[in-house]
Every structure is written in C-alpha cells, then in structure tokens.
Structure 1
Amino acid sequence: MTYKQRNLAMMGYRSVGKSSLSIQFVEGQFVDSYDPTIENNYEIRLVDTAGQDEYSIFPAQYSMDFHGYVLVYSITSQRSFEVIKIIYEKLLDMMGKAYVPVVLVGNKTDLHQERAVPMEEGRKLADSWKAQFLETSAKQNESVNDVFSLLIAQIERDNGNTSEKSSCTIS
C-alpha cells in the first residue's frame, strides 16, 4: 500500500486552541496549561504555527509545500473570528490563488456558555470560501479527527482523486 504525504498548516489567532487540537489529534490528550507555541511539526506533516493577527507577516514557507490549511478561531472570541478572515485573505494573496483547501474550525465548544460567534456565522464564512466547516472541542475530543479527515478528503477531491473506495488512514 502506498501512502501519500500531505502537508497541513494550522493557523489562527493566539489562544484559540491550535496546539490543543494538534496535541489531541496526535497524542490523544488535552493539555490544560497554556504555553505559547513557536512552531511544532508533526507527521502527516502538520505545522502548528504561532498565533497570528492582522499584522502578522507570514513566512514564505506557509504558502509553499502545503496541501491545505486548518484555520481555527475560538467560538468565545469575536476577535479571533475577525482575524481568521484576514489570515485567509493573506494566504490567498501570498499564494496568488482564488482558492486554497481549507477547513474552518470553531474551537472551544465546551465553553458554549461563553459563545461570542454563532455557529451560523462560521458556516456562512466557510461557504463563502467553499471550505468545510466544523465546531470542535479539543478539551473534550469532539470532532478533532474529523477536522483532518475532512481536509484530506477535500485535498484529494481537488486533486481529482474521487474514488468511492478511497479511505483516509492517518497514522
């Protein structure tokens, strides 16, 4: 069996749970303490980037050699939702494309009582990008694996690999 390597970047405003999603996906655990990320690499090859804001300058490597992007905001932060729109536009500008494979993720559903971004806003934004959309809880391991499965499936569809028997095995 031949495996394809897919390079994915996880991006978003600070403290939205990018590292928590990465660690939950890779190691199956949630880390309660917050230690700001510089950058971590995992195999699929998942790059967990440092938090971005509207003034961030993306290294050129963020637009090269990546097959898709996980763009994360916190459902408890309208600011993180606004910043994710800017990050997406910067990605398109930097790549010189009108479309890139993206899964938009509203994280921290376990904090639903603090919700600042309605689910429908996230869904509408993802639809406008022709992107997949999910809400997750890294803490409760809700829909974490789905984020990566959806993105890999989207990348494969975009590459013309639409075999009905195809499956996604992430190791």
Structure 2
Amino acid sequence: MPPPKIRKLAIMGFRSVGKSSLTIQFVEHQFVDAYDPTIENTFEKIIKVGNQEFNIKIVDTAGQDEYSIFPQSLSVGINGFVLVYSVTSQKSFEIVQIIHEKLLDTIGKVTVPIVLVGNKIDLVNDRIITTQMGRDLANSWNAAFIESSAKKNEMVETIFKAVLELIERNDGTSPKTDKDCTIL
C-alpha cells in the first residue's frame, strides 16, 4: 500500500453552525454539546479512501461573518474546503455565500475542492433552509453538497471523504473507492 498522502483541509462558516462539532465528531467520535467559540484549532486523523490512506490535518476556523477579513493563512497550503451553514439559520446560509466569494477572490482559482454542508438536520422543526436551496447553491459553485447532523453523527465521515475525493480528482489522482459515495 502506498504511504499516506498528507492533505490539509479548512472548515469554515458562520459562528454556531457546528464546525467544531463536525470536526470533533469525525476525529474523536463524540459530540460536544457545550458551545465554546473556537479561535482556531487543528485536528489530525488518518483515513482510508479507497485504497489510499490520507493523513489529514483539519483547520477548524473561528466563525466568520460578513465583515471578517479572510485569513491569508487559509489561502496557502490548504487542499480543500468544507463550508458549513446551519439549516436552521438564514444568516449562516447568506454568510457561507460571502465566505465562498472571499475564498475565490483570495485564492484566485476558479476550481477549488469544496463541500457545502448543511448541518443540524436533526433540528427538523427549526429548519429554514431546504435541501433544494443547499443543493442549488452547491451546483452553482460546482461543489459537492451534503446535509449532516454532528449530534447524531449523520453523514459526518462522508463530508471528509467527499472533500478528499474532490481534491484527488482536482489533482488528477482520484482514488479508486470501494463503493460509491452518496452525496445528497
């Protein structure tokens, strides 16, 4: 088996959308209920996608808003991005679009491996953003789209596998997967 490929991902979105919850659920298999605003953390995990192992470093960013300056550190050395909004927040859906624009402006590339994530699908009665709205936005970006629940660990691993597959496809070295990845 080939040695693990090193990939660096950034997870971004408005505050309180569940970026840290998704990351911690993926890396440590636990849901953190208490909200403690993140400054910026980096997590690391080895994951196998198809026949390839990846050593992924996940930069869990502080919550962005429409006024925050896009950190220059996130435009260098990052292989792929996970942009998260909460399906219960119109504001977070608007902010993720602003983050996407800033991301493309800062990086200067048209094609960037991005997975758009609608998180908190377990809050069915509080949903404001429909699946179709998220899917339409992702399609307009040529990005993958996944809805998830960090709390219930629904589709969490799929998010990170999907961004790795996009990175590899972008690099022209797409791994052979054991099974198809289902993206909502």
Pick aligned residue for 2:71 from 56, 59, 66? 59
Q: Is the 8 A contact 2:165 2:175 kept in 1?
A: no
Residue 60 and residue 157 in structure 1: after superposition, are their counterparts in 2 closer, same or farther (change >3 A)?
Answer: same
What's the counterpart of residue 30 of structure 2? 29
Following the alignment from structure 1 to structure 2, what is the Cα–Cα distance between the partners of residues 5 and 91? 22
1:4 alignment partner in structure 2: 5
SS of the aligned residue for 1:126 comes to helix
- Give 3-state SS (helix, strand or coil) of 1:6's partner: strand
Shift of 1:164: 3.2
The separation in 2 between residues aligned to 1:23 and 1:90, in whole angstroms, is 26
Out of 72, 76, 79, which is 2:88 matched to? 76
Q: CA deviation at 1:162?
A: 3.0
Corresponding position of 1:161: 173
TM-score w.r.t. length of structure 2: 0.88
2:7 and 2:155 map into 1 onto residues whose CA distance is 20
Q: Match of 1:17?
A: 18
By how many angstroms is 1:58 displaced? 1.7
Decide whether aligned partners of structure 1 residues 4 and 137 sit closer, same or farther in structure 2, where only a CA change above 3 A counts: same
Change (3 A) 1:94 1:79: same
TM-superposed CA distance for 1:112, in Å, is 1.2
Counterpart pick for 2:156 among 144, 151, 155: 144
Q: Do residues 40 (structure 1) and 52 (structure 2) align? A: no
For residues 86-97 of structure 1, the aligned pairs below 5 Å read: 86-97=98-109
Q: Cα offset for 1:99? A: 2.2
Shift of 1:161: 1.0
Which of 107, 130, 133 is the matching residue for 2:145?
133
Deviations 1:84-133 (A, max 9, x none): 00000000001112221100000000101100101100000001111000
Q: Distance in 1 between matches of 2:127 and 2:72?
A: 34
1:6-51 Cα distance to aligned partner (Å, 9 max, x none): 0000000000000000100000000111000001101111000000
Question: How many correspondences in the alignment?
Answer: 167
Counterpart in the other structure of 1:107? 119
| Cα pair distance change 1:77/1:163, threshold 3 Å | closer
Identity of aligned residues (%): 59
Secondary structure of 1:55's match? coil
The whole-number CA distance in structure 2 between the counterparts of 1:146 and 1:165 is 12
Root-mean-square deviation (Å): 1.3
